[in-house]
């Protein structure tokens, strides 16, 4: 009992305060959540009144909710009063120079072509005041501005583009959606806002890498992407480098809105700290992600590679409201050590001829537990809706677990819904075969696993796919043999 | 090149090989024949280093080294190649990529440069033509959904590309059509050189017609019960194993 209490404390970021560095000290509120805290957050961020009202409404609703317990994961109860709701969530030590940054991290940044000043910012190196102007001048900002694309922090968006934020925020994931969405709506720290105007094909991949702001990896991020008619955008989120973060609850909300003929691709590579091999520490990743294909023929595609976090609870979904809309979900989720993941998708077919594809690859190693939970709902009006779901599980060793929970609700007789599930193991035969051809055991395992995940990796932009493969290899190091 | 002395081995306490002696010199081709379940694949697996077998007696030296003390991949990198009786499927792993990774792992261990993608592609294409392997198979996942014959040809392609010093072919001829058999034999013959040796496990004379092995051995009940030249295979083809087993028993 004693030990699990410590775990909770560790997890909920005791010692959070002590890590705090001078500059941001004044911005840190003591742990606890009440109306005053929310008012303080809103005023510190200089938000308009309507935003505060939204937050308060969410907070009051949240008070009526209980933490969900239906997921196939176990963790000690979270004490929501033990969390500080306004602070720079990254307590990485400020480093003197890039020389102090882990070389792998730098290599990753370099591969991604991140300018040196931004590398510094990302790695937590103290950045001088010049940086901001340098960053603003970087070419991508100019390119985006020329195309009319808005790409900024949520705080900035609330100030600069209030009409857009007001119109779309909460329109896909209302605060009433679920416990964590309500909490996020009340206390979200920051996040990203993207707006692609009509007919614009966003001239570059957008990535959180490229948007520097302090709250980048906030505990309660809020992301909103709006793609106007006939526009296209591809967005990458996450960090592929192993970040040894402190324990924390990560309850983000991501909303996507695709209007007529618009296309949004959203890719995540998530590698938060998974905790140690005994299951101590690590991130609780409770995220609500949903996209709405609001306009006819719009298309939303989620791709996720989830290798980190102690507990993952997330179901990126698509509401296929328009006719001929397409929703896709490609996922690789890895659990090893004591990691637990309950993840999957929701495909809600409302429009005629709406189509959805689900490809889920779960990999469990050691004591990892991996559940796919997928909902496919076809509403009465959704003539000719189609879904194909494929859920494959790969087990490494015999102490891990994989579960599949498909929920299918069909209210229209013309619907075609197919669900396939397989479970396989990395076999001795395969390892022997690879090693007989000269590959090391580790290379053999990573090759087999990458093969297993190929369909999903194919959906990632090239450099990201390479990173994801390496990440997988790193995260499964020592899991076999 | 390969020297096997009194090799005895088994699985879970069950003895399978019961004192094998075999000398294979560089430049030679040895055929190993024998009834089902006599231990041919077991021998091949033990030479390649597969886990799960316990060596209870004897030793194996390969190019002067203690083969049994080497890791599986180490043996492969030193030039031991096993064409498997049942090639394994690797879903999602591109056949060409696999072969390239394999080749580069072997080259790297020898301190050689990795081969660049273009030269490698050229090499594989050429070898694929030689063994008459459909180029489309290069783009597919390793052995996944390949027909029995395609899998065997793919093994021969790998052998042709990797150019091992000691190639062990475990029933690579089984399940092949007549043309494929010919291609496999050509593949083996092309690899023949004074620096290389081959152990060919087979049930059929036909392959040996093309290969003309220097030595033929009969493995039965975990022992080599008879060794001879290529005419021994002809004799077996004509008379079966019965007479031999009776003779040994007597
Ligand atoms: N892992 C194992 N567990 C139990 N028995 C085994 C195992 N591997 C081999 N054997 C047994 O050892 C004996 C020799 O098998 P092996 O596969 O070496 O025969 P073989 O000569 O290659 O036969 P074939 O001509 O049918 O390929 C058989 O009786 C087989 O059942
Ligand atoms: Mg056999």
Mutate to test the interface with B, among A436, A449, A469 (most CBs of B within 10 A): A436
In short, whether B41's Cβ falls inside 6 Å of ligand 1 is: yes
Contacts A458 to B, Cβ<8 Å: none
Cα–Cα dist A55/A41, whole Å: 10
User: What CATH architecture applies to the domain B2-88+162-249?
Assistant: 3-Layer(aba) Sandwich (3.40)
* pLDDT tens per residue, range A130-177: 333 333 334 566 778 899 999 888 888 999 999 999 999 999 999 999
Strand B54-62 and strand B2-11: the pairing is antiparallel
Q: Which two tokens stand for residue B77?
A: 């990198």
Measure CA of the first residue to CA of the last residue in chain A; give whole Å. Answer: 33
User: Out of A106-120, B169-183, B210-224, which region has the weakest mean confidence (pLDDT)?
Assistant: A106-120
Q: By the 8 A CB rule, do A195 and A150 touch?
A: yes
In short, whether B78's Cβ falls inside 6 Å of ligand 1 is: no
Considering only the beta carbons, identify the residue of A433, A436, A447 that sits closest to B101: A447
Q: What is the pLDDT of residue A124?
A: 47
* pLDDT tens per residue, range B53-70: 999 999 999 999 999 999
In short, whether B69's Cβ falls inside 6 Å of ligand 1 is: no
Residue B3 clears pLDDT 90, i.e. is over it: yes
- Among A222, A99, A108, which residue's Cα sits nearest to residue A172? A222
Cα–Cα dist A22/B214, whole Å: 82
A436·B91 Cβ contact <8 A: no
In short, whether B45's Cβ falls inside 6 Å of ligand 1 is: no
B77·A429 Cβ contact <8 A: no
Q: By the 8 A CB rule, do A97 and A128 touch?
A: no
Partner residues linked to A347 by β-bridges:
A318, A376
**Chain B interface with A: residues with Cβ < 8 Å:** 48-52, 71-73, 75-77, 81-82, 84, 86-93, 98-99, 101-103, 105-106, 109, 141, 158, 162
In short, whether B37's Cβ falls inside 6 Å of ligand 1 is: yes
Confidence of residue B230 (pLDDT cuts 50, 70, 90): confident
Q: What is the pLDDT of residue A27?
A: 55
Q: What is the pLDDT of residue A97?
A: 59
* pLDDT tens per residue, range A430-448: 999 999 999 998 889 889 9
Which is more confidently placed, B214 or A272? B214
- Ligand 1 atom 9: residue of nearest CA: B42
Q: What is the sign, positive or negative, of the torsion defined by CA atoms of A449, A451, A452, A455?
A: positive
A453·B92 Cβ contact <8 A: yes
Mutate to test the interface with A, among B70, B82, B86, B90 (most CBs of A within 10 A): B90
Q: What does the DSSP 8-state code read for residue A95? A: B
What is the crossing angle of helices B148-162 and B95-109, to 10°?
A: 30
| Spatial CB neighbours of B6, under 8 Å, sequence gap ≥ 6 | B19, B20, B21, B57, B58, B59
Question: To the nearest whole percent, how much of chain A has pLDDT over 90?
Answer: 43
Confidence of residue A216 (pLDDT cuts 50, 70, 90): very low
Contacts B91 to A, Cβ<8 Å: 451-452
- Among A326, A271, A263, A329, which residue's Cα sits nearest to residue A302? A329
Contacts A451 to B, Cβ<8 Å: 90-93, 141
Residue A300 clears pLDDT 60, i.e. is over it: yes
User: Out of A94-98, A280-284, B95-99, which region has the weakest mean confidence (pLDDT)?
Assistant: A94-98
Which is more confidently placed, B39 or A279? B39
Q: What is the pLDDT of residue A312?
A: 81
Confidence of residue A398 (pLDDT cuts 50, 70, 90): confident
Residue B206 clears pLDDT 90, i.e. is over it: no
pTM: 0.79
Mutate-to-test residue for ligand 1 from B13, B38, B54, B222, highest number of ligand atoms within 8 A of CB: B38
Q: What is the pLDDT of residue A480?
A: 59
B92·A435 Cβ contact <8 A: no
Confidence of residue A35 (pLDDT cuts 50, 70, 90): very high
Cα–Cα dist A217/A191, whole Å: 8
Q: Which two tokens stand for residue A18?
A: 């002590």
Question: To the nearest whole percent, how much of chain B has pLDDT over 90?
Answer: 72
Residue B188 CA to ligand 1 centre (angstroms): 25
Contacts B87 to A, Cβ<8 Å: 433
Which is more confidently placed, A442 or A199? A199
CB-facing half-sphere around the CA of B128: CA atoms within 13 A:
19
Question: To the nearest whole percent, how much of chain B has pLDDT over 70?
Answer: 99
Residue A194 CA to ligand 2 centre (angstroms): 62
pLDDT averaged over every residue in chain B: 92
Which is more confidently placed, A6 or A140? A140
Q: What does the DSSP 8-state code read for residue A205? A: -
Residue B190 CA to ligand 1 centre (angstroms): 30
- Among A154, A126, A109, which residue's Cα sits nearest to residue A21? A126
**Considering only alpha carbons, which residue of chain A is nearest residue B48?**
A436
Element holding A423 (H helix, E strand): strand A416-425
B72·A433 Cβ contact <8 A: no
Mutate-to-test residue for ligand 1 from B9, B11, B173, highest number of ligand atoms within 8 A of CB: B11
Interface predicted TM-score of the whole assembly (ipTM), two decimals: 0.96
Element holding A364 (H helix, E strand): strand A355-365
- Ligand 1 atom 2: residue of nearest CA: B11
Q: What is the pLDDT of residue A131?
A: 30
Cα–Cα dist A162/A78, whole Å: 34
Cα–Cα dist A171/A178, whole Å: 14
* Neighbour count for residue A164 (Cβ, 10 Å): 16
Detail the DSSP E strand segments found in A259-325: 263-270, 284-293, 299-306, 311-314, 317-320
Residue B157 clears pLDDT 60, i.e. is over it: yes
Mutate-to-test residue for ligand 1 from B39, B51, B245, highest number of ligand atoms within 8 A of CB: B39
B92·A437 Cβ contact <8 A: no
In short, whether B172's Cβ falls inside 6 Å of ligand 1 is: no
Mutate to test the interface with A, among B73, B74, B162 (most CBs of A within 10 A): B73
Confidence of residue B22 (pLDDT cuts 50, 70, 90): very high
**Angle made by CA atoms A199, A205, A209, in degrees to the nearest 5:** 140
Contacts B75 to A, Cβ<8 Å: 436
Domain ranges of chain B: 2-88+162-249
In short, whether B36's Cβ falls inside 6 Å of ligand 1 is: yes
Q: Which residues make up the environment of ion ligand 2, defined by Cβ < 5 Å?
A: B 40-41, 85
Residue A208 clears pLDDT 80, i.e. is over it: no
Question: Mean pLDDT across the stretch A329-357?
Answer: 90
Contacts A450 to B, Cβ<8 Å: 92-93
Cα–Cα dist B239/B218, whole Å: 13
* pLDDT tens per residue, range A135-148: 333 456 677 889 99
Residue A411 clears pLDDT 50, i.e. is over it: yes
């Amino acid at each position: 009992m004693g030990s699990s209490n410590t775990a909770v404390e560790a997890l909920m970021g005791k010692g959070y305060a002590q890590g705090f560095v001078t500059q941001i000290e004044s911005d840190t509120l003591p742990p606890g959540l009440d109306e005053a805290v929310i008012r303080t957050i809103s005023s510190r961020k200089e938000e308009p009144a309507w935003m505060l009202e939204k937050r308060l409404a969410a907070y009051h609703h949240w008070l009526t909710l209980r933490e969900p317990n239906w997921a196939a994961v176990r963790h000690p109860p979270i004490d929501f009063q033990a969390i500080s709701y306004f602070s720079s969530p990254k307590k990485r030590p400020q480093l003197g120079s890039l020389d102090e940054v882990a070389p792998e991290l730098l290599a990753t940044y370099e591969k991604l072509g991140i300018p040196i000043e931004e590398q510094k910012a990302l790695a937590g190196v103290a950045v001088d005041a010049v940086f901001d102007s340098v960053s603003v001048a970087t070419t991508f900002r100019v390119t985006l501005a020329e195309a009319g694309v808005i790409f900024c922090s949520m705080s900035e968006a609330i100030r600069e583009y209030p009409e857009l934020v007001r119109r779309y925020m909460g329109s896909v994931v209302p605060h009433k959606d679920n416990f964590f969405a309500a909490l996020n709506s009340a206390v979200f720290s920051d996040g990203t806002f993207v707006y692609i105007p009509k007919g614009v094909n966003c001239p570059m991949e957008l990535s959180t890498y490229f948007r520097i702001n302090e709250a980048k990896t906030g505990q309660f991020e809020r992301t909103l992407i709006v793609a106007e008619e006939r526009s296209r955008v591809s967005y990458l989120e996450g960090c592929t480098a192993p970040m040894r973060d402190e324990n924390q609850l990560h309850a983000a909300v991501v909303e996507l809105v695709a209007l007529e003929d618009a296309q949004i691709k959203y890719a995540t590579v998530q590698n938060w700290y998974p905790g140690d091999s005994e299951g101590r520490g690590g991130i609780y990743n409770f995220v609500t992600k949903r996209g709405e294909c609001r306009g006819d023929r719009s298309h939303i595609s989620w791709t996720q590679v989830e290798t980190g976090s102690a507990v993952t609870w997330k179901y990126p979904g698509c509401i296929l409201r328009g006719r001929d809309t397409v929703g896709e979900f490609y996922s690789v989720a890895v659990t090893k050590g004591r990691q637990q993941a309950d993840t999957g998708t929701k495909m809600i077919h409302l429009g005629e001829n709406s189509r959805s594809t689900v490809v889920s690859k779960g990999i469990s190693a050691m004591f990892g537990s991996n559940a796919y939970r997928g909902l496919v709902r076809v509403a009465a009006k959704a003539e000719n809706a189609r879904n194909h779901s494929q859920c494959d599980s790969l087990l490494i060793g015999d102490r891990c677990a994989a579960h599949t929970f498909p929920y299918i609700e069909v209210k229209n007789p013309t619907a075609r819904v197919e669900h396939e599930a397989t479970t396989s193991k990395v076999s001795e035969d395969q390892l022997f075969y690879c090693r007989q051809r000269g590959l090391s055991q580790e290379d053999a395992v990573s090759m087999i696993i990458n093969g297993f995940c190929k369909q999903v990796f194919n959906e990632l932009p090239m450099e990201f796919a390479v990173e994801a493969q390496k990440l997988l290899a790193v995260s499964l190091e020592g899991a076999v043999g | 090149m390969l020297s096997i002395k009194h090799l005895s081995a088994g699985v879970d306490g069950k003895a399978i090989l019961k004192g094998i002696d075999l000398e294979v010199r560089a430049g030679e081709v040895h055929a190993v024949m024998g009834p089902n379940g006599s231990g041919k694949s077991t021998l091949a697996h033990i030479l390649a280093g597969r886990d799960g077998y316990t060596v209870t007696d004897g030793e194996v030296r390969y190019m002067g080294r203690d083969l049994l003390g080497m890791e599986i991949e180490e043996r492969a990198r030193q030039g031991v190649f096993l064409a498997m009786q049942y090639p394994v499927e690797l879903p999602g792993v591109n056949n060409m990529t696999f072969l390239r990774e394999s080749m580069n792992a072997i080259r790297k261990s020898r301190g050689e440069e990795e081969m660049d993608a273009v030269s490698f592609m050229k090499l594989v294409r050429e070898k694929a033509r030689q063994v008459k392997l459909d180029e489309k198979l290069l783009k597919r996942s390793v052995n996944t959904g390949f027909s029995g014959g395609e899998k065997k040809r793919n093994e021969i392609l790998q052998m042709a590309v990797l150019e091992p010093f000691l190639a062990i072919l475990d029933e690579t001829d089984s399940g092949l059509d007549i043309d494929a058999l010919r291609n496999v034999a050509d593949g083996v013959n092309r690899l023949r050189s004074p620096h290389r040796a081959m152990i060919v496990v087979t049930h059929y004379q036909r392959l040996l017609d093309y290969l003309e092995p220097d030595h033929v051995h009969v493995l039965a009940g975990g022992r080599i019960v008879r060794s001879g030249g290529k005419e021994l295979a002809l004799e077996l083809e004509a008379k079966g194993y019965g007479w031999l087993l009776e003779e040994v028993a007597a």
